[in-house]
Structures are given as C-alpha cells and as structure tokens.
C-alpha cells in the first residue's frame, strides 16, 4: 500500500510539490486555509506553470478546508505529513495534524526558516525530517495557480535537500528523496543544519529586501546600493552561522567565505560576488516576475516571516555577541511597513 501523504499548507511550495507528487501517482491530500483556493482547485484543478512549456500542467489532487480536517479521524492514518505553512503557523499546524499520524508516521518541514525544533516540541525529535527547497522561487499568484519563476535545477543545481536532524542517512529520508526526484534534483544530506542556515542566509539577503523596497529579484541585483546592502546581509549571516558552528554550503551560487569577505570590504571578493549576482539577472536565469515569498506576502497584505528570517539571525547574533546591524535594521523596517507606518520603497535602503 502506498504511504498516505498529506500537505498541511497548499500554497506556493506545498501546492507545487504536493501537486506534482499527486501527478506522479502518490496518495496525496492537500489542506489549505484559503477557502477560495480550495474551491478553485476542486472545480478547475491546480494549474502549475514554469519557464518551459512542458512545465505547464494541471494537477487534480484532493484538497480540503481546515474545517474538514476532523474527517481524518474516520480515515486511514497519515504516514507522511508535510508541514508547508508559514513559520508563525508551525506549532498550531503541527498540533492539529499530530493526532492523525500513523504509529510510524512522521512530519517533514518543507518551509522557509528553521522550524524543525518547533515541530519536534510538539511531536518529538524522532518524528521530524527536514526538506529544503533551495532557490525554487514559486509564486501562488491567484487561487488555484502556482508558477515557478526560475528554471529547474537539474544537474546544474540541486534544488531539494532532505535530511535527518541527527545527520544520518535513513530509509525514510531516502524515501522522501526518491519521491521528490520526479519533480526536480534532490539529495539526502548529512548536513541538515548547515543546509538550513545556508538557505536562511539566502532568504535573509532577498526576502526582506524585496518586501521593503517593492522590487523583484532582478531589480534588486541590478541596483548598486541595494545589491551591496544585500551582500552585507549575507556576510553578517555567514559570520553568525560560522560562529554557531554550522558547516555552511553555497549561498545560492556564492561561496560563504567569499560572500562574508565581500561584505567586509574585500575588493576582489566584492567584484566576484557582484559579477555572480548580476549574471543571475538574465531572462534564462530568472524571470523578471520573480519575487521572494515575503514580497508576495506584502503585496497580499499578509503577515511576513521577517521575525523568523532576519529577526532570527539578529537574535542569534545577539546571543553570541556577533554584529548583525543590517538584519536588525531590515527587520524593523519591514515590521514598520507591515504596520502601515511606511510604504515599500527602494529609498529605504539607499543609505
């Protein structure tokens, strides 16, 4: 019997991965809190698009409202529950789904930020697996429609990294990777925490900057002052991660140490980092439609994850006595915009 898979959260990432897994023949059910999205998928299917014609498909996964989750008590228990909600919703979503897990069932954090500990506080460390979607850039731009705004990684870039919190390779981690391999490139990592912090560095460079300025990814990288502010964010985050003892992986296409040196004024490193960032702004590398998830939330009037990205980096930096002034500044700025005290503008990061 196929494992029963549920996605708690069917937004951009959860809907993209869950929809494609269902198309591949897996037993998948989606759950989402947006009623219009649920009803649209039920009536018209889940429209998944990308940068190539073959990526434009319609999936027909079962999808339910949050209010219908109680019906799981009458159904077969869940073997694998992907948690794909915003970080601030992690605890309640995990608690809701915990009661429906099979005895050997487990949860997979398919989220931005570092949420494995929050999930473990509810279900225990033995029932938590991490799954990182690196540089996938997907956007649910309207109910029932999710688009990917960067090319598939394939052999050039490993998009998905699945790992256990203890770092050992296990059958269940390999099982998740085998399923995801039909969507895009994937590996089982023995360095989940290093991978997580590296992704946090990348998110810390891009999400809040886009939310604060209103600019998409390409426009951020083309803007000299804002690009260099992003580099400062990345360098600070790298130094905090190194001090915490993480074995950092590449930050997108950037070497962590080179990024840190660039942020600290090393001219050669800065030139190399900027060249890589500017090379990523061409149409083949990234669509001009690409906006990080936090900018999408800002446009929709939703709460952002700034406290769990730049705010989290700033908190960890303060705990160990490392500087992270750029993260403190960006966190406060995005929070002010959320409260309606400011409007998104590139001017905020010009000085």
Give the model confidence (pLDDT) of 108-156 as tens digits. Answer: 999 999 999 999 999 999 999 999 998 888 999 999 999 998 889 887 8
- In the DSSP assignment, the letter for residue 71 is G
Do domains 4-190 and 195-349 share one topology? The answer is: no
pLDDT of residue 292: 76
CATH architecture of residue range(s) 4-190: 3-Layer(aba) Sandwich (3.40)
Secondary structure class of 192 (helix, strand, coil): helix
pLDDT of residue 287: 62
How far is Cα 209 from Cα 217, in angstroms, rounded to an integer?
9
Q: Which residue has the tokens 């803007």?
A: 223
- Residue 92 tokens read as 């309640």
What pLDDT digit, counting tens, does each position of 268-309 carry? 999 999 999 999 887 655 566 667 778 788 888 889 999 999
Quick check: 178 and 304 in contact, CB under 8 A? no
Q: Which residue has the tokens 């809040």?
A: 208
Please give the CATH topology (third level) of the domain spanning 195-349. Answer: 1.10.1040
Q: Domain residues of the chain, as ranges?
A: 4-190, 195-349
DSSP codes, 101-114: EEEEEEEEE-SSS-
Secondary structure class of 321 (helix, strand, coil): coil
Quick check: 211 and 295 in contact, CB under 8 A? yes
pLDDT of residue 254: 95
Q: Give the list of residues 6+ apart from residue 260 with CB closer than 8 angstroms, or none.
A: 234, 235, 238, 239, 242
Q: What is the mean pLDDT of the chain?
A: 94
pLDDT of residue 208: 94
Quick check: 177 and 162 in contact, CB under 8 A? yes
How far is Cα 17 from Cα 84, in angstroms, rounded to an integer?
10
How far is Cα 24 from Cα 173, in angstroms, rounded to an integer?
19
| Residues of the chain by 3-state class (helix, strand, coil), percent to 5 | 50, 20, 30
Name the H helices within the chain. Answer: 12-23, 35-44, 90-98, 116-123, 171-180, 192-213, 217-222, 224-243, 256-263, 267-279, 293-300, 310-320, 325-338
- Name the maximum alpha-carbon separation found in the chain: 63
Quick check: 134 and 159 in contact, CB under 8 A? yes
What pLDDT digit, counting tens, does each position of 63-114 carry? 999 999 999 999 999 999 999 999 999 999 999 999 999 999 999 999 999 9
What pLDDT digit, counting tens, does each position of 328-347 carry? 999 999 999 999 999 999 99
- What are the beta bridge partners of residue 329? none
C-alpha torsion 174→131→110→106, nearest 10: 50
What pLDDT digit, counting tens, does each position of 191-246 carry? 999 999 999 999 999 999 999 999 988 899 999 999 999 999 999 999 999 999 99
């Amino acid at each position: 019997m196929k494992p029963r898979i549920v996605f708690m959260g069917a937004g951009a990432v959860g809907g993209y991965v869950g929809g494609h897994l269902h198309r591949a023949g897996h037993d998948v059910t989606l759950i989402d809190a947006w009623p219009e999205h649920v009803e649209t998928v039920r009536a018209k299917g889940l429209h998944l698009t990308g940068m190539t014609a073959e990526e434009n498909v319609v999936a027909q996964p079962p999808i339910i409202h949050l209010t219908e989750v109680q019906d799981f008590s009458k159904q077969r228990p869940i073997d694998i529950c992907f948690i794909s909600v915003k970080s601030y919703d992690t605890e309640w979503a995990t608690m809701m789904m915990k009661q429906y897990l099979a005895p050997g069932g487990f949860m997979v954090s398919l989220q931005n930020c570092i949420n494995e500990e929050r999930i473990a506080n509810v279900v225990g460390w033995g029932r938590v697996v991490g799954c990182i979607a690196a540089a996938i850039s997907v956007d649910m731009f309207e109910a029932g429609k999710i688009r990917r705004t960067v090319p598939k990684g394939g052999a050039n870039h490993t998009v998905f990294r699945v790992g256990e919190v203890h770092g050992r390779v296990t059958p269940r981690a390999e099982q998740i990777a085998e399923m995801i391999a039909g969507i895009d490139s994937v590996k089982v990592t023995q360095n989940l925490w290093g991978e997580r912090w590296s992704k946090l560095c990348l998110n810390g460079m891009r999400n809040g900057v886009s939310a604060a300025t209103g600019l998409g990814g390409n426009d951020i990288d083309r803007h000299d002052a804002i690009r260099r502010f992003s580099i400062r964010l990345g360098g600070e985050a790298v130094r905090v991660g190194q001090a915490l003892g993480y074995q950092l992986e590449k930050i997108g296409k950037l070497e962590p140490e080179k990024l840190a040196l660039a942020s600290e004024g090393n001219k050669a490193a800065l030139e190399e980092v900027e060249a890589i960032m500017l090379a990523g702004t061409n149409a083949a590398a990234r669509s001009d439609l690409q906006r990080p998830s936090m900018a999408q939330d800002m446009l929709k009037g939703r709460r952002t994850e700034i406290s769990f990205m730049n705010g989290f980096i700033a908190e960890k930096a303060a705990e160990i006595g490392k500087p992270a002034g750029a993260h403190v500044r960006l966190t406060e700025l995005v929070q002010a915009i959320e409260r309606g005290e400011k409007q998104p503008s590139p001017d905020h990061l010009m000085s």
